[in-house]
Amino acid sequence: MCGIVGYLGNNDCIENIKQGLLNVEYRGYDSAGISYIDGNKIVVQKRVGNVQNLFDTITCPDGIHCGIGHTRWATHGEVCEKNAHPHLSFNNKFSLVHNGIIENYAMLRDNVLSEIPFRTDVDTESIVNMVAYINQEKPEMPIVNCLGESLKSLQGSYAIAMIAKETPDVIYFARKESPLLIGVADGETFISSDILGLGKNCEKYVVVPNGVYGVIATDGIKAYKQGGKPYELEFKSMISLGERADKGDNAHFMQKEINEIPAVIVNTIDIYLKPLNPLTIIEPSFWEGIERIEFIACGTSYHASMVGAMFAEDNAHKVARTHFASEFVYNPPFVDEHTLCVFVSQSGETADTLHAVKVAKEKGAKTLGVTNVMTSNLVHVCDHTLPICAGVEVAVASTKAYNAQVTVLLLLADFLRDGNYETIARRISSEAMTLNLEEMWANAKKFVKKISNSRSIYFVGRHMDYITCLESSLKLKEISYIPCEAYAAGELKHGTIALVEEGTTMLAIVTEPKLISKTLNIVEQAKARGATLIYYTSLNLKDFAVKDKDVMRAPVVDVELSPLFSIIPMQMVAYLVSVGKGYNPDRPRNLAKSVTVE
């Protein structure tokens, strides 16, 4: 959830931390703070609000070469300056930033640290106070060892960066479950919870392995496994980050990312059409003996997985199901060596999904990740990974990543059938290149006022359209805060129609010709009870007495590919409604881009 950064080097520490925090701010924007050593004192400066607000309201001295920073998504304690990171130890000797959750923080506070004064309501303070406590009890012990001893007491997840007054040119680090990366350049070292937080000069990077802690100093980096055993970090050449956070001429990142969808689909298809591509480089034995496919994901990725499961059954003729990762963990289905578990996550850091991978592997299943971030934990824990090539997605409400996920899952379904997915790949690419986004935006704008004025909205559809309803509803509610729900159209009369009254808005999605009459029969029942109808379709509904003014046009594409393309105008509507209401669609309240806690 939270974003952490740190810098040690010859250049301006404060500017590097600022840029790093701005690049990872989508991970949380409740509050922000920085910490550095000035003279013989640890300085902590933090503010409620976003990163820019922090740097607009503080002043920092020149000549600082080592420091840490944090942008917060609150998990423990209210959003206030006191609870913002970084956190100082009780004796002001240590300052620490943290991403994750310490599950036993209350027990530590009330037992081992019962004589230690706490300043905040957050779990993170127990970490820094534990380090300070051990350092106080064993002053001869090196600080990195004090950190290592502290980690033995912690239950939960963490990515940690810490500075100490006694060692002004050193950053200490530790990682368990939550993401953490270190980057290096000539005379500079960076640390961050996200590769985007590493400095623009970064030449090499490493994803800190699970259970590793260590120290970053001017003379190098030393890492250790639990127990103090030295560990050699293996650095890789830095990947291209040419798409770093830049809105271009767009008002918001979400607008930019919607406009990038056709290119994202085409680019994703292109890498899967190369002779050596992410599907064909996997050893053939991996695909042998698969009898069942379980798709596991959360949120928008779950909806993409529903499309994948539907096509896997229809095209690959495999038993396929979809599971919420959070439920899979506690009530897993029967899986064995004949089961392929497909884990879908934009960030590759979704905590529930990573936990589900562990459960699946314990049961002997084959594991396949689908992610946008090839430096993520998901890549390291799955047997194999399929990239979605969406590029950097900053807006919290996922758009282009969803389309890229659906694209890859459609290819996977045909690949699992007979290994031949080139036909559908070329069809998808051809349809993407003919999309008229300008026309879609213009059409979406016609319905913004009607949707904005609704107290609540019901999305209804059948078969593939039902999945589009689910994702459309999620997009609208998460950035416009209008209560809305999605229902399989046939289920409306089994209870939900009781909620329909004068003024209720219902949006019917109809893209499959064979389902027109069945879906519209249900919709008419709601209309007869006072519902205001919006029909979203690419089909001709004149034979059903539907007026053109009530029809929002969906893109005209191959019906089989409808889930991939029909969502785009719905993403546009959600964006326009949010902006029209005066909200920031990139930063919806209470949400963060990457959910790294369970």
Residues serving a catalytic function are 2, 593
E strands, 257-348, in order: 292-297, 319-324, 339-345
> How many Cβ atoms sit within 10 Å of the Cβ of residue 359?
17
Task: Quote the Cα angle for 521-554-271, to 5°.
Answer: 130
First-to-final CA distance of the chain = 10
CA 504 to CA 321: how far, in whole Å?
33
DSSP letters of 521-568? HHHHHHHTTTPEEEEEESS--GGGT--GGGEEEPP---GGGHHHHTHH
Q: Which H or E element spans position 471?
A: helix 464-480
CA 223 to CA 234: how far, in whole Å?
11
CA 99 to CA 181: how far, in whole Å?
12
Instruction: Please list, in sequence order, all residues whose beta carbon lies within 8 angstroms of the beta carbon of residue 55, skipping any fewer than 6 positions away.
Output: 18
Burial 305-326 (b: 16+ CB within 10 A, else e): bbbbbbbbeebbebebebbbbb
Q: Please state the length of the chain.
A: 598
Q: Find tokens 């006191």 and name the residue.
A: 82
CA 167 to CA 36: how far, in whole Å?
11
Instruction: Please list, in sequence order, all residues whose beta carbon lies within 8 angstroms of the beta carbon of residue 532, skipping any fewer than 6 positions away.
Output: 450, 454, 503, 504, 505, 506
Name the token pair of 507: 């949006």
CA 200 to CA 238: how far, in whole Å?
10
> How many Cβ atoms sit within 10 Å of the Cβ of residue 195?
23
